[in-house]
Structure 1
Amino acid sequence: MNPKNELSVQDVADILKVSKSKIYSMIKNEELQSYRVGRKVRFSENDIKNYIQNSKKGSCAHEQETGSSLQKDDFVLCGQDIMLDILSNYMRQRGVSALRAYIGSYDSLIALYRKQVNVAFAHLWDSDTDTYNVAYVRRLLPGIPAVIVHLTCRMQGFYIAKGNPKEISDWNDFSRDDITMVNREKGAGSRVLLDENLRLSGISSKDVAGYNHEIQSHLTVASIVASGKADVAIGTEKIAKQVEGIEFIPIKKEQYDLVFRREDADQYGVQTLLNIIQAQSFQEEFSQIGGYDTKNMGKIIAEL
């Protein structure tokens, strides 16, 4: 195996957005495959891909099953931003059994439609209206009254190598013979943004080198670009600031919103969530972190 493809416990914790202790617990419970090099625990990229794929098919974080209906006392938040991990911790402190499901935006809305999660988080761009999320909620939750509440705005853009040696500047560069990308998984908001812009630019995915190389993490795709294994990837500005060796080209300011069924609006879990994100202290916590625009956090975007 190429040593560059070996992942440490910290690498996997960053990818899955959990603590190192959680990773060791997953190894002990045989939820996650690993191997040892001397005393050090290591993972292959396939180990992580298999875990993520199995999670999408069956189990979510904290043993919530995406293929089954919600358990009575569970309250599942479905999305991939680290803000949701912190939000779920706040909810547990207030007596809500808040669980996490690390699933992309498109599949999150489908899980909400199937009553497999309580709240879905999404950043899906609709090219026809140049708006986020509302059009997708209408399509993916047909006949279901829903509420969309704004969480934050983030900047999406290109991860490129330091100094931009390939002089990448726009979507048309993705079809160049000397450019290789690394992609996000189907259903991720970043993937939808890419696919829509390739379509609008008249570029076939068959003409984009690396298009089928799919990864389920902003951090990992940024790291792949930093290592020189790809020339470009799509992701958020916040992650770009955490990875050495890359630069960020801003492309689109996106909305990251939460969605729940209107029939659940009076649920204790939903009310607790809304109270937390509407609190000034929570908003100030993220406004100081950087990479998050909390100006309209907690504002109702639409009631469908």
Structure 2
Amino acid sequence: MKRIKITPAWYFSDEAGNQLDPQLFVLLEGVHLHGKLTEAAKMAGISYRHAWNLLGKWQEFFGIGLVELQRGRGARLAPLGEKLLWAEQRVIARLGPQLESLGSELNLEIQQTLEGVRPVLRMHASHGYAVELLPQYLDGLHLDLQYCSPREALVALNRGACDLAGFHLPQGPVGQRLVADYRPLLKPRSHRVLRFITRRQGLMIAAGNPCAIQGLKDLTLGETRFINRQLASGTRALLDGLLQAEGLSSRRIRGYEIEEYTHSAVAAYVAAGMADAGFGVEAAARRFGLDFLPLADEDYLLLCHHRSLSEPRLLRFREMIAGQAFQEAVLKLPGYSLDRCGEVEDTEALVTV
């Protein structure tokens, strides 16, 4: 299947028109991951000589080294190399979900022109790594996936703008309080819940935990720098609920007012050394080489209309998420587990979350 993939791109340029080669970012990431220029060159799909010349060219461009090579000790990123790599990671992490949503819209329009009208499943959902996997496994069915906040997804379902709404509820008392907030948007007679996955949330902490963070209380002490999620996100609601449960004031957290818009963006912010800790899913922490302190498990759920459950597109969707291929992919995500994936429940079951 031909698909549009939109990726963010940025570059430095000078008066002579020289522009930063995107391949440099892959090379820098390889050095960061492997600590060897030979392995970084393999990762970038170029020869060692080409890698050496590429580094030389851009080190000359900036007038400062990007990689430090030490005889018998491999390679490591110099301070500017680290800044360039984490800038690239932050751009991708922050803009990725919005570009995926736009790509979904464009792919739908183009594919329907190329192939004629085919079944379309419209899904509005809070962003997550398991949700990202869905388009890869829905053969024969177009998924129009739009990322938004949990409340926006539920509102979209109620106004008929989507067929599935993805949202997440923490297990335990915090989840019960959030259900009360969502209750006006849940219609027990017409809505049904599709079980999906469970994921682990907690503190994403700079590698090695230099600030010795052991819990949320430590964020309110001293000079620990924090990076938050945006106000409308379900993850922010979970954090606020946990702070309330421990009797902690958000006003005492340095950086609480600074926001990012995805789990990956929070993790990239911490990995870049701009904060000591953030809050999000374990999968994001592991992807960026951070320490992780688990604080809550939450159920990621999908809401649909009862009448749509018998439609072929929903039947195909349920078959896919209950299938071995998709479930094996989910289980490879750190902190993710399966929870009766694809089973149907009444909305009343949410009060026990």
Query: What TM-score do you get using the length of structure 2 for normalisation?
Result: 0.64
Question: Once the 2 structures are TM-superposed, how far is the Cα of residue 262 of structure 1 from its aligned partner?
Answer: 1.7
Tell me the residue number matched to 1:39.
19
* Cα 1:288/1:247, change in 2 over 3 Å: closer
Question: Once the 2 structures are TM-superposed, how far is the Cα of residue 173 of structure 1 from its aligned partner?
Answer: 2.2
2:132 maps to 1:78:
no
Question: Once the 2 structures are TM-superposed, how far is the Cα of residue 147 of structure 1 from its aligned partner?
Answer: 1.1
Written as runs of structure 1 = structure 2, the 5 A alignment for 1:149-188 is 149-188=194-233
Question: What are the superposed Cα offsets for residues 25-60 of structure 1, whole Å, 9 maximum, x if unpaired?
Answer: xx7xxxxxx55533337889998899789x69xx75
* Cα 1:193/1:35, change in 2 over 3 Å: same
Q: In the alignment, which of 224, 238, 246 is matched to residue 283 of structure 2?
A: 238
- Greater mean deviation of Cα atoms: 136-145 or 211-220: 136-145
How many residues align? The count is: 266
Do the aligned residues in 2 keep the contact of 1:151 with 1:256 (CA within 8 Å)? yes
Do the aligned residues in 2 keep the contact of 1:109 with 1:120 (CA within 8 Å)? yes
The CA distance in 2 between the partners of 1:108 and 1:269, in whole Å, is: 19
Tell me the residue number matched to 1:291.
335
Question: Once the 2 structures are TM-superposed, how far is the Cα of residue 221 of structure 1 from its aligned partner?
Answer: 0.8
Do the aligned residues in 2 keep the contact of 1:123 with 1:133 (CA within 8 Å)? no
Written as runs of structure 1 = structure 2, the 5 A alignment for 1:1-304 is 21-23=5-7, 36-37=12-13, 38-40=18-20, 60-63=102-105, 74-79=120-125, 80-91=127-138, 93-94=139-140, 96-125=141-170, 128=173, 130-131=175-176, 135=180, 137-142=182-187, 145-244=190-289, 246-304=290-348
Unaligned stretches of 5+ in structure 2?
23-86, 107-116, 349-353
Question: Once the 2 structures are TM-superposed, how far is the Cα of residue 258 of structure 1 from its aligned partner?
Answer: 1.2
Larger helix percent? 2
* Cα 1:154/1:84, change in 2 over 3 Å: same
* Cα 1:133/1:101, change in 2 over 3 Å: farther
Question: Once the 2 structures are TM-superposed, how far is the Cα of residue 248 of structure 1 from its aligned partner?
Answer: 0.3
Identity of aligned residues (%): 25
Do the aligned residues in 2 keep the contact of 1:149 with 1:301 (CA within 8 Å)? yes
User: Which residue identity lines up with residue 85 of structure 1 in the other structure?
Assistant: E
Query: What TM-score do you get using the length of structure 1 for normalisation?
Result: 0.73
Question: Once the 2 structures are TM-superposed, how far is the Cα of residue 133 of structure 1 from its aligned partner?
Answer: 7.1
Question: Once the 2 structures are TM-superposed, how far is the Cα of residue 73 of structure 1 from its aligned partner?
Answer: 6.0
Question: Once the 2 structures are TM-superposed, how far is the Cα of residue 267 of structure 1 from its aligned partner?
Answer: 2.5
* Cα 1:127/1:288, change in 2 over 3 Å: closer
The CA distance in 2 between the partners of 1:20 and 1:252, in whole Å, is: 36
Question: What are the superposed Cα offsets for residues 117-150 of structure 1, whole Å, 9 maximum, x if unpaired?
Answer: 2211111337646459754553323576211122
The CA distance in 2 between the partners of 1:287 and 1:50, in whole Å, is: 25
Based on CA coordinates, which of the two structures has the bigger radius of gyration?
2
The CA distance in 2 between the partners of 1:137 and 1:272, in whole Å, is: 28
- Greater mean deviation of Cα atoms: 123-132 or 291-300: 123-132
The CA distance in 2 between the partners of 1:113 and 1:46, in whole Å, is: 34
The CA distance in 2 between the partners of 1:224 and 1:23, in whole Å, is: 19
The CA distance in 2 between the partners of 1:223 and 1:294, in whole Å, is: 26
The CA distance in 2 between the partners of 1:118 and 1:236, in whole Å, is: 26
Do the aligned residues in 2 keep the contact of 1:184 with 1:216 (CA within 8 Å)? yes
Matched position secondary structure for 2:287: coil
Matched position secondary structure for 2:337: coil
Do the aligned residues in 1 keep the contact of 2:94 with 2:261 (CA within 8 Å)? no
Do the aligned residues in 2 keep the contact of 1:75 with 1:97 (CA within 8 Å)? yes
Do the aligned residues in 2 keep the contact of 1:134 with 1:148 (CA within 8 Å)? no
Do the aligned residues in 2 keep the contact of 1:77 with 1:88 (CA within 8 Å)? no
Note the aligned Cα RMSD (angstroms).
3.5
The CA distance in 1 between the partners of 2:322 and 2:93, in whole Å, is: 36
User: Which residue identity lines up with residue 106 of structure 1 in the other structure?
Assistant: R
Do the aligned residues in 1 keep the contact of 2:93 with 2:262 (CA within 8 Å)? no
Question: What are the superposed Cα offsets for residues 80-134 of structure 1, whole Å, 9 maximum, x if unpaired?
Answer: 123223212322x22x221111223232222222322221111133764645975
Question: Once the 2 structures are TM-superposed, how far is the Cα of residue 275 of structure 1 from its aligned partner?
Answer: 1.1
